[in-house]
Amino acid sequence: MALGPVMLGLDGLELTVEEQEILRHPQVGGVILFTRNYQSPEQAAALTAAIHALRQPRLLVAVDHEGGRVQRFREGFTRLPAVRRLGAIYDQDRMRAKQLARVTGWLMAAELRAVGVDFSFAPVLDLDHGVSGIIGDRAFHSDPDGVADLAHAYMSGMQKAGMEAVGKHFPGHGGIAADSHLELPVDSRPLADLEARDLLAFERMIHYGLAALMPAHVLYPQVDDQPAGFSARWLKDILRRRLEFQGAIFSDDLDMAGAHAAGAPPERALAALAAGCDMVLACNDRRAAVAILDHLRRTPDPVSQVRLIRLHGRGHLNVHRLHHQPVWQRAARLVQDYDAFPLLDMDI
């Protein structure tokens, strides 16, 4: 059975009989976990193992685990600082900041791989323009070169731990104050202005081999009359053709208010897939998710399958063995206090 184009959320700490049946639906390809699905590393490992056992190829298991405000698993995990802290260090010592970013990316990915999570929706590639509360310190920096340098190092650390990176929110969510969880933000800048700044970090990360991207639920009316995640102009013309991106494209959550302009849930999913997404997210509304599955009749696209299969995590230790590794012990201490320890020669 191929991976379907829909990623779903779950209700609780373990799979219900109903959820097992839903996850076997041929249009399902993955699961996204939230704080409501997490109690401990042992519980999370059991949950991901149950999800992976349902099908072959195994369903993708993802989580939003950036650090700072956005870290779904906390108890038993290292508390990751917001990545803007790395940006502040970058302004003083670029080499140290990039080394720290690599260690942080490795630590984040290693701890998630130890409980069976395939990938995190990270890193954020938006610029911190100083106007967006929803982005803010989730962005590495206000300068595109700083974002690209730090995100590249962060991705390298993730890959060392067996995890590919998913950059977000293409083509840039940091230039407007509105929150797409609550409304449809409108960024009125022309394409030339976006190309001169916000798109640069995405372009560089694409050339560094970024495996996946997530577009923003943001409308850029001087570029297209559809929000980026529903726009063939953004996803097929600019992202695929002009920027030559070959990786997977995930929609942002279709339950968010910024997606509602595309219609009812099935219409949102169809519109996002038609625009160029490989997989759409239906995270928090079970009725809407079932409606999407009932309406989709897509046959597997071999190219899309290759893009998605690449996101399966590679190898992992269990939590107990990971925590006994000197490299994890040093990385965890360092990330909890970037200023306290020298980097020395860490094999990351």
**Phi and psi at residue 88, to the nearest 5°:** -65, -40
Q: Which of 224, 285, 331, 328 is nearest to 34 (CA)?
A: 285
User: C-alpha angle with apex 74: 348 to 35, nearest 5 degrees?
Assistant: 120
270 in Cβ contact with 298 (< 8 Å): no
Cα(40)–Cα(36) distance, integer angstroms: 11
Cα(275)–Cα(269) distance, integer angstroms: 10
Residues 6 or more apart in contact with residue 154 via CB below 8 angstroms:
83, 86, 101, 102, 104, 105, 122, 123, 165
**Residue in 149, 252, 255, 278 annotated catalytic:** 252
> What would the two tokens of residue 320 be?
């107990």
> What would the two tokens of residue 78 be?
């290292």
Is 252 catalytic? The answer is: yes
Collapsing DSSP to helix, strand or coil, 119 comes out as strand
Is 294 catalytic? The answer is: no
How many helices (H) and strands (E) would you count in the chain? 13, 10
**H or E segment at 71?**
strand 70-71
Cα(293)–Cα(308) distance, integer angstroms: 19
225 in Cβ contact with 254 (< 8 Å): no
> What would the two tokens of residue 108 be?
């984040």
286 in Cβ contact with 18 (< 8 Å): no
Cα(283)–Cα(252) distance, integer angstroms: 9
**Residue in 91, 145, 181, 225 annotated catalytic:** 181
Length, in residues, of the chain: 348
Collapsing DSSP to helix, strand or coil, 244 comes out as coil
Active site residues: 181, 252
